[in-house]
Chain A
Amino acid sequence: MTRPGFVLDVDERTPPLLVHEGEGFRLQRFPLGTQVVYPPDPLPGIRDVPGAIREALLHPQGSEPLPELLHPGMRLTIAFDDISLPLPPMVQPDIRQRVIEQVLEMAARKGVEDVKIVVANSLHRRMTPSEIKRAVGERVFRSFWPGDLSNHDAEDPNGLTHVGVTDRGEDVEISRRAAESDLLVYVNINLVAMDGGHKSVPVGLGSYRSLKHHHNVHTMLNSRSYMDPPSSALHGSAARMGRLLADHLKVFTVETTLNGETFPSRFGFLNKREWEWSVKDQAMFLAAKRANDRAPSGIRREIFRRIEAPYGVTGVNAGETEAVHERTLENLHRQQVVEVNGQADVLVVGLPYICPYNVNSIMNPILVQCLGLGYFFNLYRGKPLVRPGGPMILFHPVPWEFHQVHHPSYVDFFDEVLAETTDPSALEAKYEQQYATDPWYVHLYRNSYAYHGVHPFYMWYWGAHAMDYLGDVIFVGADRKAVSRMGFRTASTFADAMEMASETVGGSPRTTYFHAPPIMLADVR
């Protein structure tokens, strides 16, 4: 029995607490009475993962067993989640590799020869060959790359099919190969509650024409939160699209969930509660922090990039999308949900070095905003962790840095669009279409390793709910210029940030520190 997550009240005996701040971490003292939300301990992983996968494929939910769906002469397409999952990348073999290998073994036994494997990268950057090889394993990669294993191209005029329009007028356009297959097997990793379900196929294999119906400010403002699918307009839209697709295409979904083993043993202290640190953990913290603080930024980034999570697999479910996703969410909640009583006046978070869009890349200011106001703020069920109009304090240096290959449109978005307005609705109306259809961004998306031109807009919309809800956003220890470009404020120290927050909430606010990662989902009562 693993320990559930819990809420700690900071008292005199509470040691300084670990706070992530980008490619670094610090120990921070919190005011007495601060509530600290800790994630549950990692659940034990399944011991026989291949057996669990086989069981899921042979006894699926709401569908015939996979071997019965396979026959000679059919067209089989396998799509899988891209580099944005899991975070950090998991120790090999990746769970996607294990699932895909078993699907292919069954297909081979049934004499299926026409097989294509597609990275469901949507409008994300293409995965490099080495990244794909890492995800699917050497056997699959050498068998299928490059002819039958490729990235999805959401801008290929000949590679897309308009499947139809939902009853709310939403266009459903996905990969032609997937749409024309006899069977589409989707292999997912459900790291957070937002992932998976009907969001997998219509989004992962969709196009801008399709995505714009739910990746917009209006939908995001009505997704409260998008980490809680029943309360999320984003998921409502994706579900309508998914159901329409299910009428045209047989989809066999395989969803997997992981436990909370986010950091390898050498960074074991990052997985532990501070008062349980051994002498070795303390020594490791000191050594890691000292070395990290002194290392040049390039080396520091490289060290963090090489972190591989020793995740255990907590569940594998397969079959009909909705039946599968229900079980997946149960599994996920078993690992991640923490009950929290009441909302705080001030919410404090430490942002780590990685988010879904900067794997093997740089976390630029827009992605910092997305991670903080998008992901972390929305990791709740019921009500946000902070009361309406309350301030949010975030730890991150927010360097004014961009990856020129991966994020070219982000550079222009930051320099041109945010310089004019930070209002999501205003910039959506004025600039989105221009960026989404810019031929140079389209060219880079299709031929280089660039995120789509419209992607920085989506990242900004991701934080729209938080921007609308919060009274103030304060970054501690950040680049003042970069933060002010985004319309937020900067404090040198946490004490200064609390001082600034007191303008909104008074001198003795009820403060909550959300102690993540590992990822958790606050169930606020």
Chain B
Amino acid sequence: MGSLAEDVRELARGWRWTRRPLTPESAEPWAPPVEPRTFPTNWARTPPARAAREAILRYAFRPLVWTETDPNVEGLDHLRDLSPPVMFVANHSSHVDTPLVLCSLPKQWRERTAVAAAADYFFDVWWRAATTALVFNTFPIERAGGKHATSTARRLVEEGWNLLVFPEGTRSRDGWMGRFRHGASRLCLEYRMPVVPIALRGTFAAMPRGRSWPVPGRVPISVRFGPPVLPEPGEEFRSLTPRIQAALSRVWEEDRTTWWESLHRERRGEIRPPTGPAGPRWLRVWEATRPPPRRRPPRIWRG
């Protein structure tokens, strides 16, 4: 038989000093799961917000990105025969990707483009959600899936908005392209939307994960738009996803070599997704940070 002091000590172990005692999980009464609340972003597509966004992108982000890095944008002529809504699909390895793509687009395309952003990253607190929604016209996507994972995206497409999607779902850790998720393909098939692949090269070298500002030295970046991929009648998302990835890989190859060379490699079946060399992480990062060559002739006069 223990002393009073021991009994008190035992009781004290089960006592939560800072909170109320917790009910064991198995003893909790059942309740239907609560759907996460979707952050409202409709206000970011109202005329005043669009005007503010255009001003911010054109007069702040574009000069900033184009000063801190050295982008070369090609292939915009592929947009000539398209009309909204289309889905822009790009590889993703840096926070600079989104402003880079948006500022590369002609105004009439940029002002009708919304960007899919991870709900758990960009929409976790109100101030981050509001800022990205205003500046980049983002809307939340649940990376874990779920009934409402793409509900906002669907509504936007129905309203005629173009979407910018990074189907890898996250930024690359080593600068190389990862596996594509199927969400983008499902959406394209549902709405018969053309997919415009965009190969981004050099953005990992310019501003990799962990950095909040581009590295010094105006790293050359290549933004290359490819010809649209159209969903075929009766096609399934399992075949469309690899087609989109193959198209993006071909555009990447076009940028790395030449358009003519990439066509020949495509015919010979030699194009592989740019997943980088096999080897340790440092080697893959080393290769991924090798910048694309500068395409412009050097300036003769330097002021």
Contacts and interface: CB of A to CB of B under 8 A. Distances in A.
A105 B258 contact: no
Given A105-B263, A113-B264, A142 B81 contact: no
A113 B74 CA distance: 24
A427 interface: no
Interface in B243-259: 254, 258-259
A484 to B, nearest CB: 43
Contacts of A144: 260
Interface residues of B, number: 15
B107 to A, nearest CB: 14
B251 to A, nearest CB: 10
Contacts of B254: 139
A111 B267 contact: yes
A292 interface: no
A50 B81 CA distance: 8
A92 B77 contact: yes
A97 interface: yes
Interface string A91-129: 011000100000011001101010100000000000000
Interface string A117-158: 000000000000000000001111011100000000000000
Interface bracket on A = 20 to 34
A93 to B, nearest CB: 4
A427 to B, nearest CB: 42
Interface of A: 48-50, 92-93, 97, 104-105, 108-109, 111, 113, 115, 137-140, 142-144
B259 A140 contact: yes
Contacts of A105: 263
A104 B260 contact: yes
B190 interface: no
Nearest to A148: B260
Contact of A104 (B75, B263, B295): B263
A108 B267 contact: yes
Contacts of A137: 77
Q: Could you say which of B259, B261, B267, B295 has the most chain A C-beta atoms within 10 Å of its C-beta?
A: B259
Nearest to A107: B263
A276 to B, nearest CB: 26
Contact of A108 (B75, B80, B260): B260
A49 B81 contact: yes
Given A108-B267, A109-B267, A111-B267, A139 B80 contact: no
Nearest to B77: A93
B205 to A, nearest CB: 21
Contacts of A140: 259-260
B199 to A, nearest CB: 13
Nearest to B83: A47
Nearest to A142: B258
A48 B77 contact: no
Interface string B49-75: 000000000000000000000000011
B227 to A, nearest CB: 9
B77 A108 contact: no
A158 B242 CA distance: 50
Nearest to A101: B259
B264 A108 contact: yes
A55 to B, nearest CB: 14
Given A49-B81, A93-B80, A111-B267, A139 B261 contact: no
A139 B259 contact: yes
| A-B CB proximity, top 9 nearest | A143-B260, A108-B263, A139-B259, A143-B258, A93-B77, A143-B259, A138-B74, A142-B258, A108-B264
